[in-house]
Structure 1
Amino acid sequence: MQVKELSFTGAARRAQIIDATLTVIAEQGYDRASYARIAEQAQLSSTRLISYHFSGKADLISACASHVIGRIGAWTGSAVHAERTAAGALRAYITATVGFIDRNRAAMAALTRIVLAGALEYTTADDAQAAAPLEDLLRRGQKSGELRSFDPVVMAHAVQRSIDGLPFVLERAPGTDCAAYGRELAALFDLATRIDAANILSS
């Protein structure tokens, strides 16, 4: 099979279709995200333009998910790498991810609907891979003596699941103060991981 070389125009068209798909899913739900509705949202002359750039709906949905997840990684990674301590990096991971969700509510709502619809092939290995950078961060903090002894796998998944729940909170209560939400989560896991927490937990 001949691989299409993606031109600047082609890349822009793909991005346009992905953005339109995310909007349709966020506003109307995954089941209603037909090519016709996506083409209308993207102001395309024909659904054939979608078929030209994506081999099928599964390919389109996978591209949408990868787009959002990639943006989260870039946004959060930049904030984490700017920190010099494990505690600071953990705080940055939480507040930056919460901030991204707040600023990209439609995209996150769409991603959540895609996952709940079972439209992605997501395995336990994928879940472990997604949590791996956070686990590594926690292990580095333990090795340096900055963080207390705990199971980094359990803690990483606890952090991630706490953040993952925010899109559901925003759907129910869109007026939620996300900055305060992020600060509260950061304080919670700071208390849970710092050295003197070991004395509190054993008392």
Structure 2
Amino acid sequence: MDVSGTASSETAKQVAGGAEPAAATRARGRRQGYATGDARRARILNIALQEFGENGYRGTSLARIAERAELTQAGLLHHFRSKQELLTAVLDLRDSMDAERLDLSNLPDGGEPALRALVALVEHNARKPGIVQLFTVLTGEAVTTDHPAHAWARERYRLLSTSITTALRHGTESGELRADLDPEACGRQVIAMMDGLQLQWLLDPEQMDMAAVFRTYIEGLLGQIRA
């Protein structure tokens, strides 16, 4: 009896009949495993975003995040090797959310377009209190140089200040804005207004329309700085 021939014939029948080869089964299992891992990682990140926003970095525990994610702490550390690595991933997630709405490193050119883009961003943020709270809490903590988010916060402010300053400077050079405008000082005032309004809004959202106040401020500023 030709056993090998019979086996080959049976295998061919299985393949022809729809049986899945072992290699394909393993590949499918890996894909399902990756999808499960990605979903678990996304769940951890969203929970961590809430925890960091509510309790700050120092007040947040990995044990609490793991509990909410229905994982052991060892299971959480399989995805993020440390609390600092998890914070970095959360900040990256927050930045990607911002970038979907507005690239802060590349504001629209010209003073008025850039300032109106910031108005639109504040209007968007008013619908995302958790993201605003995360930013406000972490940047408040990050003023100390030993905080893991210190470099991120400093670089973010530098980036935003440079982008606004550049847009306003182009506005003065094109004749759109007054020639005697100090673009850097004006840009920093705009950032200070955004941050101050965010803080007041988080403390008492029922008594303040952050987007409306900022929109009114920008309209008044444009009336002062247009050429």
TM-score range, shorter chain: 0.7 to 0.9
TM-score by length of 1: 0.77
Q: How far 1:9 moved relative to its partner? A: 4.2
Q: Aligned partners of 1:158, 1:117: CA distance in 2, in Å?
A: 22
The C-alpha deviation readout for 1:5-33, integer Å capped at 9, x for no partner, is: xx554443332212101212333444331
Q: Which residue of 2 aligns with 1:48?
A: 74
Q: Aligned partners of 1:97, 1:47: CA distance in 2, in Å?
A: 36
**Structure 1 segments unaligned to the other structure (5+ residues):** 1-6, 196-203
Distance change >3 Å, CA 19–CA 161, structure 1 → 2: same
Counterpart among 59, 63, 74 of residue 32 in structure 1: 59
Counterpart among 183, 204, 214 of residue 173 in structure 1: 204
Would you say the 8 A contact 1:99–1:179 is kept in 2? yes
Q: How far 1:147 moved relative to its partner? A: 0.9
Alignment of 1:91 onto 2:122: no
Counterpart among 123, 133, 155 of residue 163 in structure 2: 133
Q: Decide which moves more: 160-169 or 43-52.
A: 43-52
Higher relative contact order (CA 8 A, sep 6+): 1
Larger Rg: 2
Q: How far 1:129 moved relative to its partner? A: 2.4
Q: How far 1:105 moved relative to its partner? A: 0.8
Q: How far 1:131 moved relative to its partner? A: 1.8
**Structure 2 segments unaligned to the other structure (5+ residues):** 1-33
The C-alpha deviation readout for 1:37-78, integer Å capped at 9, x for no partner, is: 11233x322122321222211111122122213322331349
Distance change >3 Å, CA 189–CA 69, structure 1 → 2: farther
Distance change >3 Å, CA 8–CA 194, structure 1 → 2: farther
Identity %: 27
Q: Which residue of 2 aligns with 1:66?
A: 92
Q: Aligned partners of 1:170, 1:13: CA distance in 2, in Å?
A: 32
Would you say the 8 A contact 2:45–2:90 is kept in 1? yes
Would you say the 8 A contact 1:72–1:100 is kept in 2? no
SS at match of 1:32: coil
Counterpart among 147, 171, 176 of residue 146 in structure 1: 176
- How many correspondences in the alignment? 186
The Cα RMSD (Å) is 2.7
Q: Which residue of 1 aligns with 2:150?
A: 121
Q: Aligned partners of 1:61, 1:84: CA distance in 2, in Å?
A: 33
TM-score by length of 2: 0.70
